[in-house]
């Protein structure tokens, strides 16, 4: 089950803008499935590239300065 974070309610990733813990902004455009494993992958983009990341990793937390923070923080539907 997804962490109780805005944009990640009930295991669903909300489409829209997110900030990566390192500061870059990305737009989530969908959730896809891996063709062989059926693992859910979050599809997102920045100004130059299209990216995918396992949904569990996208929803996860990382340690920054000794504190757990979301890897991606939901910013909203518009920039």
Residue-wise pLDDT for 51-73, tens only, equals: 999 999 999 999 999 999 999 99
Report DSSP letters for the chain, one per residue: ---S-TT-GGG-PPSEEEEETTS-EEEEEEEEE-TTT--EEEEEE-SS-EEEEEHHHHH-EEEETTEEEESEEEEES--
Percent of the chain scoring above 90 in pLDDT: 81
Question: Which CATH number applies to 9-76: 2.30.30.320, 1.10.490.10, 3.40.630.10, 1.10.630.10?
Answer: 2.30.30.320
- What is the pTM for the complete model shown? 0.82
Other C-beta atoms lying within 10 Å of the C-beta of residue 44: 24
Percent of the chain scoring above 70 in pLDDT: 85
Candidates 52, 54, 42; CA nearest to 13 is: 42
């Amino acid at each position: 089950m997804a962490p109780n974070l805005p944009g990640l309610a009930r295991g669903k990733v909300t489409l829209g803008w997110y900030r990566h813990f390192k500061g870059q902004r990305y737009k989530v455009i969908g959730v896809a499935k891996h063709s062989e494993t059926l693992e859910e992958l979050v599809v997102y983009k920045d100004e130059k590239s299209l990216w995918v990341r396992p949904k569990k990793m996208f929803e996860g937390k990382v340690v920054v300065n000794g504190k757990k923070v979301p890897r991606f923080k939901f910013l909203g539907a518009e920039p």
